[in-house]
C-alpha cells in the first residue's frame, strides 16, 4: 500500500530531505581574508600602516609635506592584495569533494504512496516508502528488497568490487554491506527489477556516512605548506628582530621617531621577499603541468611536492599494478610447464608450438569458448578489441587470436553442434563440433573447466600428440603442475577432448544437452592453462625505482592472499630473495608459530588478521617488515593501514578508486585516484588523479616532486640572497649616515620586477644527480630552508653582493663629487630641504633637488648592481653540488630568458621610465652597468670553489656547513 501522503510528509519533516547535506563551507570572504593576512602579508600590512602613520606625523607637523609615504603605503597594500588574490585564485581552483557526491543523487523515484504508483523527486523519499527500481536506475535510498526479479546491482562506487552482484530478498549476512537484500543509495541497478522499502535516507545512508567520514577526515597540511610556513617564520623573524633592533638603535641615536618609523618600513620591505610566494606557486603549477603530461593530474598544487617526499605508497593491485584483465600466463602440456607472454601486447609467444598436443589444446581453446569480438573493430589491435564474454573467456579468445589468427574463421570451419555453457554446479563447459577435416566425419567433443573435475572425466592423456592411458605417475605430474600454477596465484583451467566415434555418432546424430546423450567421461586430457591478471610491464621497473628511492611499496588488495603474493613477487613488492613467515616455516619445515616473525622481511597480512590486531601490533608489522602485502582487506581497513603508516612518521601516498576509498584518500598525505577506473568521489577526495591508472606514473610523479623540492631550494636561496643587499643600505644609512643607497620603491622593483622570471626559471632546472637514488626526505629534518642555506645566502653571497653594490654606489658619488670619506655622517645635511648650497669635495655647491636626483641615481646604480650580481647568483644557483660546467651553462634555456628579462626590465626602468620622478629611477651612464661585473664574477668563482670543495671532501666540515 505504501505510506500515506500525510504520513510521508510528517516523516519528511522529521528526517529532512533525502539528500546529502553539504559540508560546512568556509565562506569565500573568509578564505579570501585568510589569504590577505597569510604568509608575509601581515608584515607588509604593518609596513603599509607604518607608512600612513608616518605621513600622519608629517602632516601634523607640516600640512604641505609630500605624499611619498602615502604612495608607498598604497603600493605595499596593492602588493599584498595582488599576491593575496593570486593565492586565493589558486586555492579556489582546487575543487570541492562534495560536488560529485551530490551529482550522484538520483533525480526521480517511482514510489508507492496512497496505494498509487507515483514518480516523485527522490529527495522527498522517507523511511518506509516502497520504491520500485528497474535495470538502469540509480537506487534512490538505502532500501531493503521485498521482491526481486533477476536484480543485479553495481556496487563498485561503494565497495570497489566491479562485478555485478545479484540481489534477492533473503537476508544472507548480518553485515548490511554483505547481505544480498539491501540495495544502496547511489549505486546502480544493472538488470532486472525489484521492489524495496526505504530504510535509510540522506546522510544516514551508507554512502552518506562515508561522505561525512571523508569530509570529517581533516585535511592535514601538506609537507610543502609546512616547509613554506617554516621559511616564512624564519624570514619574518629576521625581519621583525632586525626592524625592532634598528628601531631601538635609531631612537637611541636620537633620530626622530618619524625617521625611525621610516627606517623600520625600509627594513621590513627589504627583508620580505614579496614575490617569492607567488613564484613558489608558479613553480609548483609548472611542475603540475609537466606531471599532467606524464599522466599525473594534480588537483592540489602543493601535492606536487608531497609526492616527492612520499616514503610509503599504499597501492591497489587491480588496475594499478596489474593490467586489469585476465591473461593466459602458463600452459601445461606434455608434462611441461610453458610460459606465455603476458606483456601488454602478447607479441612474443615463445613456447614450443610444434607438439601435436598443442594443436589439440589450441583447438579446444578456440572452440570451447563463447566469447566473441564485438564487430567493427578490424583495425583495432587484438589486445584492445572489445569482447563480449567473461574475463577468462576473453583471455582465452585473445590468446588464441594472437597465436592462431582468425578465431572466428576457425570456429566457422568447425561448426558448433551443441553446447553446455559453464555453470557453477558443473564447473565445466562443453561443446561439440564438426571438424574442419572433410575426410574426418567424427564429431569433436571439447571440454574445459576446473582441472580436478576435468581430470575426473578423463581416462587418457595426450602426450606429444599421442594418447596414453592416464596412470598414477601422470596424475601425479598433473597435480604437481596444478599446485604449482595455483601457487602462483593463477586461475587454472583444464582442457580435454574426445573424438566421438563416427559409427556411434553419425553426421545426423541429434545431440540433446539436457539428457546428455553423449559421453562425458573417459575423455582424453590435453592440458592445463592458467590465467592471471598480469602486472603491467612497466610496474616491476617502477617498483625497483621506488625501492632505490627509499620508498616502501605496500600492496593493499581485496584479492586472495596467494594471488596477491604472487603478483607482489612478480612486480618486486616482495623481492625475489625475501621470505614471509610462511615461507620460512616451509623451508625449515616447522610450524608457522615457531618462526621468529621478525626474521621475515616480507609479510602477507589478511584482512581477517588485521581485524584482530590492535594498533601496536599493526605498527610493529609496518615498522619491521620492509615488504608488506595486505590481502582480503575490506575497503575500510585501508584507512587503518594509512593511519598506521602515518603514526610511524611516514609520508603516505594512497591509491584508490572506489567511493569507499575516499576517506583513506583524504587521510593520506597524498591521495591518488585512478583516472579510468576511479569513481568521481575518489577523484574528488584525491589530491592527484592518475590518468592512465598506471603505477609507473606515480614514480615519475615522485621524481618530479623531488626535483621541484630541490629547485624550490634554489629559488629560495636565489631570492633570499639579495635581501641582504637590500637590507644593508638601510643599516648603513642608519648607523653611518650615508645618503640612502636604495629606496623602498626600488627594492619593490627588484623583488617584484627583475627577480620574478629568473626565480621561476630555476624550476626548469634539471636534476643534478639521480634523484631517484636518494632516500625520501625526512619531514622534520630535511627542511626546505635549512641553516646552511640561510647562512650561505645571507652571510656569504648576500654580503658579497652588498659590498659589490656599495662599491658601485661609492663610484657614482665619487665621480659626481662626493667621496666616501665626506659621505659619512652627511645624511642630516643631505636631507635638509633648506640647504641648497651643500658643498662637495670639489667645492661645488648642490641644491637639494640636485642632491635628490643624485640620490636617485644612486638608487638606480645600486639596483643595477644588485641586478648584475643576481645574474651571477642565478647562474650559481643552478646547481648545489656540481660545477655549473658539469650541469651545462646553456641546457636550461629558461634561465637565459630570465637573465634577458632582468636586463630588459632594468633597461626599461632606467632609460624608459627614468624621467618619471615618482619611480626614483634615472638614466644611467652606460659604464655604470658594468662596474659590478667583477663582483658578479667573484661570486661565481667563490661558489665554484665552494662546490669544488664539497665534491672533493664529501662529509667534511665544509660539506656539512656549505651544502644547502
Nearer to other proteins (CB atom), residue 854 or residue 895: 854
The nearest distance, CB 814 to other proteins, in angstroms, is 5
Tell me: does residue 63 bind other proteins (CB under 8 A).
no
Beta bridge pairs of residue 182 = 144
Tell me: does residue 841 bind other proteins (CB under 8 A).
yes
d(CA 789, CA 962): 8
Nearer to other proteins (CB atom), residue 484 or residue 839: 839
The nearest distance, CB 597 to other proteins, in angstroms, is 17
State the Rg of the chain over Cα. 38
Tell me: does residue 829 bind other proteins (CB under 8 A).
no
Stretch of residues binding other proteins (CB under 8 A), selected from 22-30, 322-330, 400-408, 838-846: 838-846
The nearest distance, CB 787 to other proteins, in angstroms, is 3
Nearer to other proteins (CB atom), residue 56 or residue 954: 954
Question: What does DSSP say about strands 312-315 and 652-656: parallel, antiparallel, or unpaired?
Answer: parallel
Choosing from 479, 766, 819, 891, the residue that interacts with other proteins (CB under 8 A) is: 819
Tell me the helices (H) and strands (E) count for the chain, helix number first: 36, 28
From 137, 142, 316, 755, the catalytic residue: 316
Choosing from 648, 889, 918, 945, the residue that interacts with other proteins (CB under 8 A) is: 648
d(CA 248, CA 59): 24
Choosing from 815, 824, 883, 886, the residue that interacts with other proteins (CB under 8 A) is: 815
The nearest distance, CB 720 to other proteins, in angstroms, is 15
Nearer to other proteins (CB atom), residue 374 or residue 778: 778
42, three cell numbers: 601581515
- Decide: helix, strand or coil at residue 117: strand
Q: x/- string (CB under 8 A) for other proteins, residues 888-917?
A: -----------------------------x
Choosing from 575, 786, 822, 887, the residue that interacts with other proteins (CB under 8 A) is: 786
Tell me: does residue 963 bind other proteins (CB under 8 A).
yes
What burial class does residue 170 get, using C-beta atoms within 10 Å of its C-beta: 0-12 exposed, 13-18 middle, 19+ buried?
exposed
Beta bridge pairs of residue 113 = 3, 116
Tell me: does residue 848 bind other proteins (CB under 8 A).
yes
Instruction: Name the DSSP class of 124.
Output: G
Nearer to other proteins (CB atom), residue 850 or residue 887: 850
Phi, psi torsion values for 537, nearest 5 degrees: -65, -20
Nearer to other proteins (CB atom), residue 430 or residue 727: 727
Stretch of residues binding other proteins (CB under 8 A), selected from 105-113, 184-192, 413-421, 777-785: 777-785
- Burial of 687-709, coded b for 16+ CB within 10 Å and e otherwise, reads bbbbeebbbbbbbbbbbbbbbbb
Tell me: does residue 684 bind other proteins (CB under 8 A).
no
Tell me: does residue 926 bind other proteins (CB under 8 A).
no
Characterise 578 by phi-psi region: left (phi > 0), alpha (psi -120 to 50), beta (else): beta
Nearer to other proteins (CB atom), residue 168 or residue 786: 786
* 8 A C-beta contact, residue 95 and residue 63: no
The nearest distance, CB 353 to other proteins, in angstroms, is 48
Nearer to other proteins (CB atom), residue 499 or residue 791: 791
DSSP codes of every residue in 861-889? HHHHHHHHHHHHHHHHTT-SSS-HHHH-T
> Is residue 539 within a helix (H) or strand (E), and if so which, with residue range?
helix 539-548
Instruction: Name the DSSP class of 948.
Output: H
Tell me: does residue 136 bind other proteins (CB under 8 A).
no
* 8 A C-beta contact, residue 568 and residue 547: no
The nearest distance, CB 642 to other proteins, in angstroms, is 15
Q: Distance between the two ends of the chain, CA-based, in angstroms?
A: 76
Tell me: does residue 233 bind other proteins (CB under 8 A).
no
Choosing from 165, 343, 850, 882, the residue that interacts with other proteins (CB under 8 A) is: 850
Q: What is the dihedral of CA 560, 562, 568, 570, to 10 degrees?
A: -130
d(CA 680, CA 698): 20
Tell me: does residue 955 bind other proteins (CB under 8 A).
yes
Query: What is each CA distance from 724 to 353, 569, 961, in whole angstroms?
Result: 76, 55, 20
Nearer to other proteins (CB atom), residue 378 or residue 833: 833
The nearest distance, CB 545 to other proteins, in angstroms, is 16
Choosing from 185, 695, 846, 862, the residue that interacts with other proteins (CB under 8 A) is: 846
Residues binding other proteins: what is the number (CB under 8 A)?
61
The nearest distance, CB 665 to other proteins, in angstroms, is 23
Query: What's 740-772 look like in SS3?
Result: CCCCHHHHHHHHHHHCHHHHHHHHHCCCCCCHH
Choosing from 10, 114, 934, 948, the residue that interacts with other proteins (CB under 8 A) is: 934
Tell me: does residue 814 bind other proteins (CB under 8 A).
yes
Query: What is each CA distance from 573 to 68, 512, 538, 638, in whole angstroms?
Result: 66, 51, 13, 18
Tell me: does residue 311 bind other proteins (CB under 8 A).
yes
Tell me: does residue 788 bind other proteins (CB under 8 A).
yes
Choosing from 674, 854, 871, 936, the residue that interacts with other proteins (CB under 8 A) is: 854
Choosing from 130, 462, 800, 876, the residue that interacts with other proteins (CB under 8 A) is: 800
Least Cα distance to 194 among 249, 145, 246, 125 occurs for: 145
* 8 A C-beta contact, residue 772 and residue 702: yes
Nearer to other proteins (CB atom), residue 524 or residue 872: 872
Choosing from 288, 650, 906, 909, the residue that interacts with other proteins (CB under 8 A) is: 650
Characterise 550 by phi-psi region: left (phi > 0), alpha (psi -120 to 50), beta (else): left
d(CA 249, CA 628): 61
Nearer to other proteins (CB atom), residue 108 or residue 844: 844
Choosing from 17, 389, 519, 820, the residue that interacts with other proteins (CB under 8 A) is: 820
Tell me: does residue 845 bind other proteins (CB under 8 A).
yes
Tell me: does residue 816 bind other proteins (CB under 8 A).
yes
Stretch of residues binding other proteins (CB under 8 A), selected from 299-307, 482-490, 847-855, 887-895: 847-855
Which 623-642 positions form the footprint of other proteins (CB under 8 A)? 623
Tell me which residue has cell 559453464.
Answer: 422
Tell me: does residue 768 bind other proteins (CB under 8 A).
no
d(CA 479, CA 597): 31
d(CA 391, CA 375): 18
Tell me: does residue 837 bind other proteins (CB under 8 A).
yes
Tell me which residue has cell 613553480.
Answer: 283
d(CA 150, CA 148): 6
Characterise 426 by phi-psi region: left (phi > 0), alpha (psi -120 to 50), beta (else): alpha
Tell me which residue has cell 609496518.
Answer: 622
Residue 505's CB: how many other CB atoms inside 10 A? Answer: 21
Tell me: does residue 65 bind other proteins (CB under 8 A).
no
The nearest distance, CB 205 to other proteins, in angstroms, is 39
Choosing from 166, 347, 615, 836, the residue that interacts with other proteins (CB under 8 A) is: 836
* 8 A C-beta contact, residue 944 and residue 884: yes
Stretch of residues binding other proteins (CB under 8 A), selected from 64-72, 299-307, 561-569, 844-852: 844-852
Phi, psi torsion values for 143, nearest 5 degrees: -130, 150
Task: Based on the residue annotation, tell me whether 114 is a catalytic residue of this protein.
Answer: no
Stretch of residues binding other proteins (CB under 8 A), selected from 132-140, 249-257, 400-408, 852-860: 852-860
Give the interface with other proteins as residue ranges (CB under 8 A).
311, 550, 622-623, 648-650, 775-778, 781-783, 786-788, 795-796, 799-800, 803, 806-807, 810-811, 814-817, 819-820, 834, 836-837, 839-850, 853-854, 857, 917, 925, 934-935, 938, 955, 957, 959-961, 963
Active centre residues (catalytic): 316
Amino acid at each position: 500500500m505504501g505510506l500515506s501522503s500525510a504520513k510521508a510528509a510528517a516523516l519528511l519533516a522529521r528526517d529532512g530531505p533525502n539528500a546529502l547535506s553539504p559540508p560546512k563551507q568556509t565562506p569565500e570572504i573568509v578564505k579570501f581574508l585568510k589569504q590577505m593576512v597569510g604568509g608575509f602579508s601581515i608584515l607588509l600590512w604593518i609596513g603599509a600602516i607604518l607608512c600612513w602613520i608616518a605621513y600622519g606625523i608629517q602632516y601634523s607637523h607640516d600640512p604641505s609635506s609630500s605624499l611619498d609615504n602615502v604612495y608607498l603605503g598604497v603600493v605595499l597594500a596593492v602588493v599584498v592584495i595582488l599576491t593575496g588574490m593570486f593565492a586565493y585564485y589558486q586555492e579556489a581552483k582546487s575543487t570541492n569533494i562534495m560536488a560529485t557526491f551530490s551529482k550522484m543523487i538520483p533525480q526521480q523515484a517511482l514510489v508507492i504512496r496512497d496505494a498509487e504508483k507515483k514518480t516523485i523527486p527522490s529527495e522527498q523519499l522517507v523511511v518506509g516508502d516502497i520504491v520500485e527500481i528497474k535495470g538502469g536506475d540509480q537506487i534512490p535510498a538505502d532500501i531493503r528488497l521485498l521482491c526481486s526479479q533477476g536484480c543485479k546491482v553495481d556496487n563498485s562506487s561503494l565497495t570497489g568490487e566491479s562485478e555485478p552482484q545479484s540481489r534477492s530478498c533473503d537476508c544472507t549476512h548480518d553485515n548490511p554491506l554483505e547481505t544480498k537484500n539491501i540495495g544502496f543509495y547511489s549505486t546502480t541497478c544493472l538488470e532486472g527489477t525489484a521492489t524495496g522499502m526505504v530504510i535509510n535516507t540522506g546522510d544516514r545512508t551508507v554512502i552518506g556516512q562515508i561522505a561525512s567520514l571523508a569530509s570529517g577526515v581533516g585535511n592535514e597540511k601538506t609537507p610543502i605548506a609546512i616547509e613554506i610556513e617554516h621559511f616564512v617564520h624564519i624570514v619574518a623573524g629576521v625581519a621583525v628582530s632586525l626592524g625592532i633592533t634598528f628601531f631601538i638603535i635609531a631612537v637611541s641615536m636620537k633620530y626622530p621617531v618619524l625617521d625611525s618609523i621610516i627606517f623600520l618600513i625600509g627594513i621590513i620591505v627589504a627583508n620580505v621577499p614579496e614575490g617569492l610566494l607567488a613564484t613558489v606557486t608558479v613553480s609548483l603549477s609548472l611542475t603540475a603541468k609537466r606531471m599532467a603530461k606524464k599522466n599525473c593530474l594534480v588537483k592540489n598544487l602543493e601535492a606536487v611536492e608531497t609526492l616527492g617526499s612520499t616514503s610509503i605508497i599504499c597501492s591497489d593491485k587491480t588496475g594499478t599494478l596489474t593490467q586489469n584483465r585476465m591473461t593466459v600466463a602458463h600452459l601445461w602440456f606434455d608434462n611441461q610447464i610453458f610460459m606465455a607472454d603476458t606483456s601488454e601486447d602478447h607479441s612474443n609467444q615463445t613456447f614450443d608450438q610444434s607438439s601435436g598436443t598443442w594443436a589439440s589444446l589450441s583447438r579446444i581453446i578456440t572452440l570451447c569458448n563463447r566469447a566473441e569480438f564485438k564487430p567493427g573493430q578490424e583495425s583495432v589491435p587484438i589486445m584492445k578489441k572489445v569482447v563480449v564474454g567473461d574475463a577468462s573467456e576473453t583471455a582465452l579468445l585473445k590468446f588464441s587470436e594472437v597465436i592462431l589468427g582468425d578465431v572466428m574463421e576457425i570456429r566457422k570451419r568447425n561448426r558448433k553442434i551443441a553446447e553446455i555453457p559453464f555453470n557453477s554446479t558443473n564447473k565445466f563447459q562443453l561443446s561439440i563440433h564438426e571438424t574442419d577435416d572433410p575426410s574426418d566425419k567424427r564429431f569433436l567433443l571439447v571440454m574445459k573447466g576446473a582441472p580436478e573435475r576435468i581430470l575426473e572425466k578423463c581416462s587418457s592423456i595426450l602426450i606429444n600428440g599421442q594418447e596414453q592411458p592416464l596412470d598414477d605417475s601422470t596424475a601425479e605430474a598433473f597435480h604437481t603442475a596444478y599446485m604449482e600454477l595455483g601457487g602462483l596465484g593463477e586461475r587454472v583451467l583444464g582442457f580435454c577432448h574426445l573424438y566421438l566415434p563416427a559409427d556411434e555418432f553419425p553426421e545426423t546424430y541429434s545431440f540433446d544437452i539436457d539428457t546428455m546423450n553423449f559421453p562425458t567421461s573417459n575423455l582424453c586430457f590435453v592440458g592445463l592453462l592458467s590465467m592471471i591478471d598480469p602486472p603491467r610491464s612497466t610496474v616491476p621497473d617502477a617498483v625497483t625505482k621506488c625501492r632505490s628511492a627509499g620508498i616502501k611499496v605496500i600492496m593493499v588488495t581485496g584479492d586472495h592472499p596467494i594471488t596477491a603474493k604472487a603478483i607482489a613477487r612478480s612486480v618486486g613488492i616482495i623481492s625475489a630473495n625475501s621470505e614471509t613467515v610462511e615461507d620460512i616455516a616451509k623451508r625449515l619445515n616447522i610450524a608457522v608459530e615457531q618462526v621468529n616473525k621478525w626474521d621475515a622481511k616480507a609479510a602477507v597480512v589478511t584482512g581477517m588478521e588485521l581485524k584482530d590486531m590492535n594498533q601496536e601490533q599493526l605498527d610493529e608489522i609496518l615498522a619491521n617488515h620492509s615488504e608488506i602485502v595486505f590481502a582480503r582487506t575490506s575497503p575500510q581497513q585501508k584507512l587503518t593501514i594509512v593511519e598506521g603508516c602515518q603514526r610511524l612518521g611516514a609520508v603516505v601516498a594512497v591509491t584508490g578508486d572506489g567511493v569507499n576509498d575516499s576517506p583513506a584518500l583524504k587521510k593520506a598525505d597524498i591521495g591518488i585516484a585512478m583516472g579510468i577506473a576511479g569513481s568521481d568521489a575518489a577523484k574528488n577526495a584525491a589530491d592527484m588523479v592518475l590518468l592512465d591508472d598506471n603505477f609507473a606514473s606515480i614514480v615519475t610523479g615522485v621524481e618530479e616532486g623531488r626535483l621541484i623540492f630541490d629547485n624550490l631550494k634554489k629559488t629560495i636561496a636565489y631570492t633570499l640572497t639579495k635581501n641582504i643587499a637590500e637590507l644593508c643600505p638601510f643599516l648603513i644609512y642608519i648607523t653611518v649616515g650615508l645618503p640612502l643607497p636604495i629606496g623602498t620603491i626600488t627594492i619593490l622593483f627588484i623583488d617584484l620586477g627583475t627577480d620574478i622570471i629568473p626565480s621561476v626559471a630555476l624550476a626548469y632546472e634539471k636534476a643534478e644527480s639521480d634523484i631517484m637514488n636518494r632516500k625520501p626526505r625526512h619531514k622534520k629534518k630535511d627542511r626546505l630552508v635549512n641553516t646552511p642555506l640561510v647562512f650561505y645566502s645571507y652571510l656569504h653571497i648576500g654580503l658579497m653582493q652588498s659590498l659589490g653594490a656599495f662599491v658601485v654606489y661609492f663610484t657614482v658619488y665619487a665621480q659626481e663629487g662626493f667621496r666616501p670619506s665626506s659621505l659619512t655622517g652627511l645624511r642630516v645635511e643631505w636631507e635638509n630641504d633648506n640647504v641648497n648650497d651643500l658643498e662637495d669635495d670639489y667645492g661645488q655647491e648642490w641644491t637639494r633637488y640636485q642632491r635628490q636626483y643624485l640620490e636617485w641615481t644612486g638608487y638606480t646604480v645600486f639596483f643595477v648592481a644588485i641586478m648584475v650580481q643576481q645574474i651571477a647568483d642565478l647562474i650559481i644557483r643552478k646547481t648545489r653540488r656540481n660545477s655549473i660546467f658539469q650541469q651545462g651553462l646553456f641546457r636550461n634555456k629558461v634561465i637565459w630568458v630570465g637573465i634577458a628579462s632582468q636586463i630588459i626590465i632594468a633597461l626599461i626602468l632606467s632609460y624608459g621610465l627614468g624621467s618619471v620622478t615618482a619611480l626614483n629611477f634615472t638614466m644611467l651612464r652606460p659604464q655604470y652597468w658594468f662596474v659590478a661585473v667583477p663582483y658578479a664574477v667573484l661570486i661565481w668563482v667563490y661558489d665554484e670553489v665552494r662546490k669544488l670543495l664539497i665534491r672533493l671532501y664529501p662529509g667534511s666540515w665544509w660539506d656539512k656547513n656549505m651544502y644547502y
